[in-house]
Amino acid sequence: MNTIDLSWWQLGIAAGLVLALAACTWLAQLRVGRPLLIAAARTAIQLALIGFVLEALFAVGSLLWVALMGFAMLLLAGREVVARQQYRLRGGWSFGIGTLSMFVSGFTITVLTLVVIISPQPWYLPQYAIPLLGMLLGNTMTGVALGLERLTEGARKGRGEIENRLMLGETWQQASAQLRRDAMRAGLMPTINAMAAAGIVSLPGMMTGQILAGSSPALAVKYQILIMFTIAAGTGFGTFVAVALCARRLFDARERLRLDRLSP
């Protein structure tokens, strides 16, 4: 089955729906019309640019360019992690922790999936490597950002309880155990909800895209199961690493809670 091409005027109709929504939010005084329009404009511009980049990358197919593209995506994801936090660690620690945790989980699981499971030839074939890494980084970024946000906000609100437990002789791990569990749970919950609703409430994005592109539903289902399992693993391990590193940074060598290491 051939894929139906879309013209610019057809995309313009979809854009008109977003404009109509922005007008409704303005009339309702929700104060989200401007962010909505900015997000829509960014979506169109960023996706158009990445389309040109991917076409050039697919034509070259070099491991070096695939790796450079992957690291650029990683750095941008690390920046987004910092931008989504109300309170972040000073001195670039939030960026470093977020980027490192996504590198450890996202890149490791991507390479494992490409080499062991999918096995394209070559294993870094951009057609598989870039979309897979993008989906893993995008979801891991959300999990890491939510986990760090819950951790830092919880530390600020629960400062008294944590310090009391430290004064009673508990280690920093014991005093912050519940806080870390809550943060990890917050980071994992969107992925768990998406997995629970897949195929019942909604058809996931990759499966929908493959079906629209003409793939058989059976093949699309297999790829979607693979993607959701790898996303769950990447998000989980990334959130665990980020929360553990950030929690340790909130305490000094004498196991004192150091909220002065956070900045709004």
Summarize pLDDT for 225-250 with one digit per residue, the tens: 898 899 999 999 999 999 999 999 99
CB 94 within 8 A of CB 151: no
> Residue 260 — very low, low, confident or very high, per pLDDT cuts 50/70/90?
confident
Alpha-helical segments (H) within the chain: 8-27, 33-60, 63-83, 93-102, 108-112, 126-157, 159-167, 172-175, 177-197, 205-212, 217-249
Asked if the peptide bond before residue 122 counts as cis, ω within 30 degrees of 0, the response is: yes
> Residue 112 — very low, low, confident or very high, per pLDDT cuts 50/70/90?
very high
* pLDDT reported for residue 2: 59
Q: Structural domain tally of the chain?
A: 2
Shared-domain flag, residues 38 and 116:
no
Q: Cα–Cα distance between 183 and 152 in angstroms, integer?
A: 9
CB 243 within 8 A of CB 180: yes
Shared-domain flag, residues 86 and 130:
yes
Closest CA to 100 of 89, 87, 115: 89
* pLDDT reported for residue 262: 85
Shared-domain flag, residues 219 and 246:
yes
Shared-domain flag, residues 83 and 189:
yes
Shared-domain flag, residues 110 and 218:
yes
Q: Cα–Cα distance between 110 and 133 in angstroms, integer?
A: 6
Q: Cα–Cα distance between 160 and 165 in angstroms, integer?
A: 9
- For residue 32, give the 3-state DSSP assignment: coil
Shared-domain flag, residues 94 and 39:
no
Q: Cα–Cα distance between 211 and 206 in angstroms, integer?
A: 9
- Inform me whether the pLDDT recorded for 157 exceeds 60: yes
Which letter does DSSP use for residue 87 in this model? S
Q: Please give the average per-residue pLDDT across 209-223, as a whole number.
A: 79
b/e code 170-203 from CB counts within 10 Å (16+ = b): eebeebbeebbebbbebbbeebeebeeebeeeeb
- For residue 251, give the 3-state DSSP assignment: strand
> Which residues are CB-contacts of 154 (< 8 A; sequence separation ≥ 6)?
179, 182, 183
* pLDDT reported for residue 207: 72
Shared-domain flag, residues 239 and 113:
yes
Last residue of a domain, one of 27, 60, 93: 60
Q: Cα–Cα distance between 89 and 259 in angstroms, integer?
A: 9
Structure tokens, 203: 């058809």
Shared-domain flag, residues 164 and 230:
yes
Shared-domain flag, residues 179 and 217:
yes
- Inform me whether the pLDDT recorded for 212 exceeds 90: no
> Do the strands 262-263 and 88-89 form a parallel or antiparallel pair, or are they unpaired?
antiparallel
List, as one string, the DSSP characters of 143-177. Answer: HHHHHHHHHHHHHHHTHHHHHHHHHTT--HHHHTH
Q: Which domain holds residue 48?
A: 1-60
Shared-domain flag, residues 77 and 1:
no
pTM, full prediction: 0.83
Shared-domain flag, residues 9 and 100:
no
Q: Cα–Cα distance between 170 and 164 in angstroms, integer?
A: 9
Shared-domain flag, residues 28 and 65:
no
